[in-house]
Structure 1
Amino acid sequence: MQSYDTLVEALDDLTKKGYTHDFNIADDCLICHTPNVQLRPEQFHIVDVFRFEGMSNPDDSSILYAIESTDGMKGTLVSAYGAYADEVSNEMMEKLKIH
């Protein structure tokens, strides 16, 4: 498993590996604005997960997901965790759970 020191380093490397789409989380799906796509939990899988902790502030913590859709679209999702975590459906929460 690859490891990265910073979120920026991880995003740069994943982009080079073809993870070029930027996903955002909605209540029950992932959204990509370019192209305009919505992915329900059954339409994607998580290839890899990376956690980053803020060096000066623990509230700056985030998780980076490398995601691939069932039709081959590859991208990343950056999500806060802890106090600033996004509100999502139970189905989406289960899909994004780190095991």
Structure 2
Amino acid sequence: MSVSGLQNQYSSLLEALENAENRGFVNHFNFDGKQLRCVENGKVYSPNQIVVRQFHRFEGASDPDESAIIYLVETNDGLLGTVINAYGTYADPAVDRLMQDVLISNNTQ
């Protein structure tokens, strides 16, 4: 997955997260070894059970803590939610590897 040329319409990660939640992406997913776990219900999903609907990268020029990628994802059983990973030096390489195996759809919601 390449993030080059990504158009970001949000000024902050918080703004992107709030917009995602307003659009129904209300679940939160954490990395759990080799899969993602939904915080709200505990279900786990492998990369082939998830589709990225949209993602946005934030490069914190003035605030390095704001360097992150937010992925808006949909699971094979219809859950909508977000995955957030740091970007750059503080990124979790295991999350990056997992997300590289997830299908990116052109069908945004």
Other-structure match for 2:39: 33
Cα distance change of structure 1 residues 26 and 81 upon mapping to structure 2, 3 Å threshold? farther
Cα deviation 1:44-95 (Å, max 9, x = unaligned) = 1100010001132446410000000011100001101222111427861522
Q: What count of residue pairs does the alignment treat as equivalent?
A: 98
Other-structure match for 1:15: 21
Q: CA RMSD in A?
A: 2.6
Runs of 4+ in 1 over 3 A off after TM superposition: 57-60
Cα distance change of structure 1 residues 91 and 51 upon mapping to structure 2, 3 Å threshold? closer
Percent identity over paired residues: 36
Q: 8 Å contact 1:66–1:76 — kept in the other structure?
A: yes
2:83 paired with 1:77: yes
Consecutive unaligned residues of structure 2, counting only runs of 5 or more, are: 1-6, 105-109
TM-score normalised according to structure 1 size: 0.83
Deviation at 1:34, TM superposition (A): 1.2
TM-score normalised according to structure 2 size: 0.76
Aligned counterparts of 1:17 and 1:8: Cα–Cα separation in 2: 14
Consecutive unaligned residues of structure 1, counting only runs of 5 or more, are: none
Cα deviation 1:3-23 (Å, max 9, x = unaligned) = 111111111111010000011
Question: Counterpart amino acid of 1:44?
Answer: I
- Aligned positions of 1:46-65 closer than 5 A: 46-58=52-64, 60-65=66-71
Question: Counterpart amino acid of 2:27?
Answer: H
